[in-house]
Structure 1
Amino acid sequence: MNLTFKGFLRGYCRELTGQQTDNLRKLCKTVVCDQPAAAEALMIFAALQGKAEYLASFTMGTWLHPDYARVSLSLALYGNVEAWLQSDDAPERYKKVWNAYQAKKNEPARTRRINALMRDKICETMRQKGLTTYRICKDLDLNLGNVYAYLGKGDVSKVSCDTARRIMEYSASL
Structure 2
Amino acid sequence: MRKLSFEGFLKRYVVELSGVQTTNVHKLADCLCENPRMKEPLFLYALTFDKVNLLLRYTMNSNVAAEYNQLSNRYSSVKMLSLLENLSPELPEGYLKVWRSYCSVRDATLADNDTKELIHRRVLELQKEKHLTNYRLYTDLQLNPGNVNAWLKCNDSNKMSLNCAR
Q: Does TM, scored on the shorter chain, surpass 0.5?
A: yes
Whole-Å Cα distance in 1 between the matches of residues 51 and 142 of structure 2? 53
Query: Which residue of structure 2 lines up, in the alignment, with residue 137 of structure 1?
Result: 138
Query: Which residue of structure 2 lines up, in the alignment, with residue 68 of structure 1?
Result: 68
Query: Which residue of structure 2 lines up, in the alignment, with residue 82 of structure 1?
Result: 81
Q: Is the 8 A contact 1:53 1:69 kept in 2?
A: no
Whole-Å Cα distance in 2 between the matches of residues 139 and 51 of structure 1? 55
Query: Which residue of structure 2 lines up, in the alignment, with residue 147 of structure 1?
Result: 148
Deviation at 1:53, TM superposition (A): 4.3
Whole-Å Cα distance in 1 between the matches of residues 78 and 102 of structure 2? 20
The aligned runs of 1:38-53 (5 Å cut-off) are 38-53=38-53
Whole-Å Cα distance in 2 between the matches of residues 38 and 118 of structure 1? 38
Query: Which residue of structure 2 lines up, in the alignment, with residue 172 of structure 1?
Result: none
Matched, 1:123 2:162: no
Q: Normalization by structure 1: what TM-score?
A: 0.85
Deviation at 1:94, TM superposition (A): 0.3
Structure 2 runs not aligned, ≥5 long: none
Deviation at 1:113, TM superposition (A): 1.6
- Provide closer, same or farther for how the CA distance between residues 7 and 79 of structure 1 changes in structure 2, counting only shifts above 3 A: closer
Q: Is the 8 A contact 1:17 1:27 kept in 2?
A: yes
Provide the alpha-carbon RMSD of the alignment: 1.8
Query: Which residue of structure 1 lines up, in the alignment, with residue 19 of structure 2?
Result: 18
Query: Which residue of structure 2 lines up, in the alignment, with residue 94 of structure 1?
Result: 95
Whole-Å Cα distance in 2 between the matches of residues 25 and 70 of structure 1? 20
Deviation at 1:79, TM superposition (A): 5.0
Query: Which residue of structure 2 lines up, in the alignment, with residue 3 of structure 1?
Result: 4
Query: Which residue of structure 2 lines up, in the alignment, with residue 109 of structure 1?
Result: 110
